[in-house]
């Protein structure tokens, strides 16, 4: 292999995965969850090998009484959710896009729109099996250093083979979804912090209108959703736990619409108490709009996601004002409140606030502008999410992630030859 050529290997057994790791060559290997849809470089490995883990996608054990599942790491979360729903259980977090595997959710320490209530995905992992660089398959528990490095570790400690996950109980496949308007960022933060928001294991996120400035800066449409109990589902809907396929229709998901945020804000009632929606019409909002990828022009988009802690609301205000004043044409700007921090050393979640933006690559000066935002996030003690990053400067990494040195030291002991690597690992010297 030479240049940017990548060897994609799709193992179907643990033994094949071990053979692929031993044969990966000088440029190493990284595991990923299927076709390359990543906006960052965490699952890319120019000149090396990439392990497509979707050939390992079996469910081994479901304990429907206790709400625990043991499954392969290559299993897609959307498939797992469809299997569990008729049994009255849900996966602990839903990604914005459905092509995320169990292993990918752990490697990125995924946090969905219910993170404030339920925490990030890795907090629900009871155990996992990890193929390390020496060819050994290790049983990893949440109280170990290896778990801390693997949760949110972006595949750099090894290949996750299986995971045992504790599930969340649900009575129906329906959500009660309500919307309301927040007139500015202070109003929005107060609404998101109100007691009971997003509980129990409900969802709360806001789509900010970045065209608004002045006193209206940060105005948004806030969407709240909670799992609907069985006695609140009309009898005409005979199968309250039946899954449905994802509907690829514009504006189906409340946070995935093609409607510009300003128009959406004005068209939304000040308060809508809630209506019944099937889970398939709510989760994975980035997949509900089939034309979404055409909104960003020929050069595509940059995903920019960061988190700042409670007490840093003024920093969040400054960042939102800077983005709005620059008139960045973001088709998606989603703010949510975060609860407990992630269990991983490189987990992006901190108790506070998370803002995710999709920005077209085309505007001149975007790279320098985002570098300035990185510095503001770091100065506020915040973190840029690494799972979708492709541009963070390495000098800011340790300021954002205090356990970076521990991560590097563990990697040096566990994988001295650098078998597991990626474009992100090389860029950030991980």
**pLDDT tens track for 57-105:** 999 999 999 999 999 999 999 899 889 989 999 998 877 666 789 999 9
* CA-wise closest residue to 157 among 138, 181, 183: 138
Tokens of 154: 């972006």
Residue bearing tokens 């007139």: 183
pLDDT digits (tens, 9 = 90+) for 4-17: 788 999 999 999 99
- pLDDT value, residue 6: 83
Region for 229 from its dihedrals, namely left if φ exceeds 0, alpha if ψ lies in -120 to 50, beta otherwise: beta
In this predicted structure, the answer to whether residue 258 has a pLDDT above a threshold of 60 is: no
pTM of this structure: 0.90
Residue predicted with more confidence, 249 or 65 = 65
* CA-wise closest residue to 403 among 423, 424, 383: 383
Residue predicted with more confidence, 248 or 45 = 45
Neighbours of 272 (CB within 10 A): 14
**Cis ω on the peptide bond leading into residue 298 (within 30° of 0)?**
no
pLDDT digits (tens, 9 = 90+) for 20-54: 999 998 999 999 986 666 668 999 999 999 999 99
In this predicted structure, the answer to whether residue 260 has a pLDDT above a threshold of 80 is: no
In this predicted structure, the answer to whether residue 295 has a pLDDT above a threshold of 60 is: no
In angstroms, rounded to a whole number, what is the distance separating the alpha carbons of residues 132 and 22? 10
- pLDDT value, residue 286: 56
- pLDDT value, residue 1: 42
In this predicted structure, the answer to whether residue 300 has a pLDDT above a threshold of 90 is: no
In angstroms, rounded to a whole number, what is the distance separating the alpha carbons of residues 213 and 96? 27
Q: What is the mean pLDDT of the chain?
A: 86
- pLDDT value, residue 199: 53
- Burial class of 123 by CB neighbour count within 10 A (0 to 12, 13 to 18, 19+): buried
Q: What is the mean pLDDT of residues 410-416?
A: 97
Confidence tier at 394 by pLDDT (50, 70, 90): very high
In angstroms, rounded to a whole number, what is the distance separating the alpha carbons of residues 369 and 362? 13
Most trustworthy range by pLDDT among 7-11, 32-36, 295-299, 300-304: 7-11
Confidence tier at 358 by pLDDT (50, 70, 90): confident
Confidence tier at 376 by pLDDT (50, 70, 90): very high
DSSP 106-157: HHTT---TTHHHH--GGGGEEEEEEE-TTS-EEEE-TTSHHHHHHTTSTT-S
Residue predicted with more confidence, 252 or 346 = 346
Residue predicted with more confidence, 159 or 81 = 159
**Phi/psi of residue 125, nearest 5 degrees:** -85, 120
Confidence tier at 253 by pLDDT (50, 70, 90): very low
- Kindly report which listed range (10-19, 270-279, 284-293, 299-308) carries the lowest average pLDDT score: 284-293
- pLDDT value, residue 377: 98
In this predicted structure, the answer to whether residue 270 has a pLDDT above a threshold of 50 is: yes
In this predicted structure, the answer to whether residue 164 has a pLDDT above a threshold of 90 is: yes
355 forms beta bridges with: 306, 335
Neighbours of 107 (CB within 10 A): 32
pLDDT digits (tens, 9 = 90+) for 115-135: 888 889 999 999 999 999 999
Angle, CA of 259, 217 and 297, to the nearest 5°: 40
DSSP code for 363 = S
CA 4 vs. chain centroid, Å, equals 27
Angle, CA of 315, 318 and 320, to the nearest 5°: 110
Q: What is the mean pLDDT of residues 191-195?
A: 86
DSSP 19-42: HHHHT--TT-EEEESSS---SSST
In this predicted structure, the answer to whether residue 252 has a pLDDT above a threshold of 90 is: no
- pLDDT value, residue 95: 75
- pLDDT value, residue 254: 45
Residue 390's alpha-carbon distances to 58, 73, 378, 423, 424, in angstroms, are: 31, 24, 17, 9, 7
Residue bearing tokens 């949110």: 152
In this predicted structure, the answer to whether residue 357 has a pLDDT above a threshold of 60 is: yes
- Identify each DSSP E strand in 153-289 by its residue range: 159-166, 168-169, 174-182, 203-208, 220-227, 271-278
């Amino acid at each position: 292999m030479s240049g940017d050529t990548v060897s994609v290997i799709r193992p179907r057994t643990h033994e094949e995965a071990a053979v692929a790791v031993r044969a990966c060559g000088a440029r190493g290997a990284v595991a990923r969850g299927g076709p390359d849809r990543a906006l960052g470089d965490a699952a890319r490995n120019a000149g090396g090998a990439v392990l497509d883990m979707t050939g390992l996608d079996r469910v081994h054990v479901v304990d429907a009484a206790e709400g625990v599942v043991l499954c392969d790491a290559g299993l897609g979360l959307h498939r797992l959710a469809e299997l569990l729903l008729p049994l009255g259980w849900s996966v602990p977090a839903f990604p914005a896009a459905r092509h995320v595997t169990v292993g990918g959710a752990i490697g990125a320490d995924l946090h969905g729109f219910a993170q404030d209530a339920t925490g990030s995905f890795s907090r629900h992992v009871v155990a996992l099996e990890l193929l390390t660089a020496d060819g050994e398959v290790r049983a990893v528990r949440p109280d170990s250093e290896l778990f801390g490095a693997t949760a949110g570790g972006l595949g750099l400690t090894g290949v996750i083979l299986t995971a045992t996950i504790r599930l969340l109980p649900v009575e129906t496949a329906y959500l009660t979804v309500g919307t309301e308007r927040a007139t500015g960022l202070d109003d929005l933060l107060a609404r998101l912090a109100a007691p009971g928001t997003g509980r129990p294991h409900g969802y709360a996120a806001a789509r900010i209108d970045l065209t608004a400035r002045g006193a209206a800066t940060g105005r948004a449409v806030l969407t709240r959703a909670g799992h609907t109990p069985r006695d609140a589902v009309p009898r005409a809907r005979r199968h309250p736990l039946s899954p449905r396929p994802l509907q690829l229709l514009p504006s189906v998901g409340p946070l995935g619409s093609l409607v510009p945020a300003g128009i959406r804000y004005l068209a939304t009632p000040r308060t809508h108490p809630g209506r019944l929606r099937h889970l398939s019409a709510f989760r994975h909002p980035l997949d509900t709009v089939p034309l979404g990828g055409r909104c960003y022009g020929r050069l595509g988009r940059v995903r920019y996601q960061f988190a700042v802690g409670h007490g840093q609301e003024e920093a969040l205000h400054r960042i939102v004002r800077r983005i709005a004043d620059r008139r960045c044409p973001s088709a998606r700007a989603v703010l949510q409140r975060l609860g407990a921090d992630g269990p991983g050393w490189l987990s992006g979640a901190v108790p506070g606030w998370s803002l995710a933006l999709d920005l077209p690559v085309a505007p001149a000066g975007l790279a320098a502008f985002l570098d300035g935002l990185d510095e503001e996030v770091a100065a506020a003690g915040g973190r840029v999410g690494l799972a979708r990053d492709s541009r963070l400067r390495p000098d800011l990494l340790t300021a954002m992630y205090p356990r970076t040195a521990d991560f590097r030291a563990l990697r040096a002991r566990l994988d001295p030859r650098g078998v597991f690597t990626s474009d992100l690992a090389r860029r950030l010297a991980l």
